[in-house]
């Protein structure tokens, strides 16, 4: 049986995601599509627009067979750790292929780059450290290090987000000795950071979120760029949860946390480095929105994404000690949802798993679970109390969604 993994956030699920799932199935001749999906918080340090359960329903309605959660400790990390966690889950679940979207569209670009960097790993690391000392952000330092390593080597553009993730998926497969063949599909039409809804049917998730939150437009404005099942789920979600989640709703709670914590507490937060905690505490006092905070917090040294992740870990009180227990492999598999096809596959696979398979987190005692439940409690903030109660209860008691 051919099992293909895709690593996703679905924030929210749109026509481009549906196309990716279909093309992945065709390209790899897959019998089963497994989506490893981030939970309520995402890789760029943002809250998901809608809960993981709503996003799971969207995915299952559009052709995905199994949705598995990528835990917070991997989902809110830089590309290398994010990829390590996702690939370890796909390896454990029995995937023999992974298919990702990229700006390159050629898998040979990624495999040759992975081999090249592995052969020059020590020198490459040295060049990165030198660039970091000069004040560059890590992504920029990596790009400069590669250029310095071999100016003649033709390489994919690692300043593009999907190319970066693709490289790390291929690297993680190699490092974990996974029997997984990588495939890639070229992204078309919408680009990752596009902020305007186009007239055609493929739009970026960024533009959809901008339209629904920042531009305060009605759902009808995005109806043509999402599957009907997504549109209906978004409509139901607004009725049930009183709107969408975003950083501005969580900002007052972040500000309270920072202003009432002493510096030693903030220094213990994961990714608090080089006096970032001082900078955050000084700036947040005089800001009235998350957007304003980020604009003033941003420096040449740190990317917007890196700073958002620091703010997120501060909000969720995720400490360096919490993250110190993390390894490069996920210690359990949590199923969020399945189709009947997916359920049949998992019934044959579960006896082969080397880690626990859980349907609800109340059935496992693990430090990652406590971090996950704490993150969900923070995610619920900003919603009415009845919604908060529902979201927190779902985290502990919601069984996998079966379609």
Give the span between the Cα atoms of 271 and 342, in whole angstroms: 37
Residue range 38-67: mean pLDDT, rounded: 97
Return the structure tokens found at 268: 């213990």
Q: What is the residue range of 264's domain?
A: 247-324
Give the span between the Cα atoms of 273 and 79, in whole angstroms: 19
Q: Is 232 known to sit in a ligand binding site?
A: no
DSSP single-letter state for residue 157:
-
Residues 190-225 have pLDDT tens digits of 454 555 565 567 888 899 998 988 766 678 899 999
State the total domains in the chain: 2
Residue range 106-129: mean pLDDT, rounded: 85
DSSP single-letter state for residue 163:
H
User: Tell me, what's the pLDDT at 150?
Assistant: 66
Q: Is 72 known to sit in a ligand binding site?
A: no
Domain boundary among 270, 302, 324: 324
Q: Is 18 known to sit in a ligand binding site?
A: yes
- pLDDT at residue 154 is higher than 80: no
Q: Is 73 known to sit in a ligand binding site?
A: no
Return the structure tokens found at 166: 């693709």
Return the structure tokens found at 67: 């949705």
Residue 241 shares a structural domain with residue 334: yes
Share of the chain above pLDDT 90, in %: 68
Q: Is 243 known to sit in a ligand binding site?
A: no
Return the structure tokens found at 298: 């941003």
Residue 302 shares a structural domain with residue 358: no
Residue 188 shares a structural domain with residue 283: no
- Regarding pTM above 0.85, the answer is yes
Q: Is 3 known to sit in a ligand binding site?
A: no
Q: Is 12 known to sit in a ligand binding site?
A: yes
Answer yes or no: is 135 within a domain.
Answer: no
DSSP single-letter state for residue 275:
T
Which element (helix H / strand E) includes 367? helix 367-380
Return the structure tokens found at 99: 């298919």
Beta-bridge mates of residue 238: none
Q: Is 397 known to sit in a ligand binding site?
A: no
User: Tell me, what's the pLDDT at 127?
Assistant: 87
Return the structure tokens found at 346: 């998992």
Q: Is 47 known to sit in a ligand binding site?
A: no
Residues 368-398 have pLDDT tens digits of 999 999 999 999 998 999 999 999 999 999 9
User: Tell me, what's the pLDDT at 105?
Assistant: 84
User: Tell me, what's the pLDDT at 217?
Assistant: 65
Residue range 131-158: mean pLDDT, rounded: 74
Q: Is 15 known to sit in a ligand binding site?
A: yes
Answer yes or no: is 171 within a domain.
Answer: no
Q: Is 290 known to sit in a ligand binding site?
A: no
Q: Is 251 known to sit in a ligand binding site?
A: no
CATH number assigned to the domain comprising residue 380:
3.40.50
Residue 64 shares a structural domain with residue 194: yes
User: Tell me, what's the pLDDT at 141?
Assistant: 80
Q: Is 19 known to sit in a ligand binding site?
A: yes
Domain boundary among 324, 341, 361: 324
Residue 33 shares a structural domain with residue 96: yes
Q: Is 387 known to sit in a ligand binding site?
A: no
Q: Is 398 known to sit in a ligand binding site?
A: no
Q: Is 200 known to sit in a ligand binding site?
A: no
Residue 88 shares a structural domain with residue 7: yes
Residue 99 shares a structural domain with residue 23: yes
Strand pairing report for 66-70 and 333-338: antiparallel
Domain boundary among 324, 344, 368: 324
Can you list the positions of beta strands (E) in 17-134? 32-38, 66-70, 97-102
Answer yes or no: is 125 within a domain.
Answer: no
Residues 172-196 have pLDDT tens digits of 999 999 999 999 998 765 454 555 5
Q: Is 313 known to sit in a ligand binding site?
A: no
């Amino acid at each position: 049986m051919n099992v293909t993994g895709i690593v996703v956030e679905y924030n929210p699920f749109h026509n481009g995601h549906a196309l990716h799932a279909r093309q992945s199935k065709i390209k790899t001749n897959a019998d089963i599509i497994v989506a490893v999906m981030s939970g309520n918080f995402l890789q760029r340090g943002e809250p998901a627009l809608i809960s993981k359960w709503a996003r799971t329903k969207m995915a299952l309605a559009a052709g995905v067979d199994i949705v598995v959660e990528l835990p917070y400790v991997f989902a809110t990390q830089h590309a290398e750790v994010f990829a390590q966690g996702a690939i370890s889950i796909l390896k454990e679940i029995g995937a023999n292929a992974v298919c990702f979207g990229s700006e390159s569209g050629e898998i040979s670009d990624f495999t040759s780059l992975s081999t090249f960097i592995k052969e020059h790993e020590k020198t490459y690391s040295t060049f990165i450290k030198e660039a970091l000392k000069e004040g560059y952000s890590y992504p920029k330092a990596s790009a400069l290090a590669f250029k310095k390593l071999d100016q003649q080597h033709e390489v994919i553009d690692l300043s593009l987000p999907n190319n970066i993730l693709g490289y790390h998926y291929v690297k993680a497969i190699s490092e974990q000795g996974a029997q997984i063949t990588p495939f890639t599909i070229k992204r078309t039409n919408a680009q990752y950071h596009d902020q305007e809804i186009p007239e055609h049917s493929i739009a970026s998730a960024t533009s959809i979120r901008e339209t629904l939150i920042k531009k305060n437009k009605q759902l009808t404005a995005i109806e043509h760029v999402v599957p009907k099942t997504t549109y209906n789920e978004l409509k139901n979600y607004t009725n049930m949860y009183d709107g969408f989640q975003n950083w501005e709703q969580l900002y007052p709670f972040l500000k309270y946390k920072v202003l009432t914590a002493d510096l030693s507490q903030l220094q213990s937060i994961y990714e608090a480095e080089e006096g970032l905690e001082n900078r955050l505490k000084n700036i947040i006092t005089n800001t009235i929105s998350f957007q304003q905070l980020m604009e003033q917090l941003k420096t040449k040294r740190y990317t917007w994404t890196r700073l958002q992740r620091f703010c997120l870990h501060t909000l969720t009180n995720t400490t360096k000690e919490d993250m110190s227990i993390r390894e490069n492999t996920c210690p359990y598999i949590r199923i969020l949802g399945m189709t009947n096809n997916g359920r049949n596959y998992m019934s044959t696979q579960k006896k082969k798993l080397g880690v626990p398979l859980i349907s609800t987190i109340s059935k496992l005692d693990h430090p990652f679970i406590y971090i996950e439940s704490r993150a969900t409690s923070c995610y619920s903030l900003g919603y009415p109390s009845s919604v908060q109660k529902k979201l927190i209860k779902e985290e502990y008691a919601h069984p996998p969604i079966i379609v």
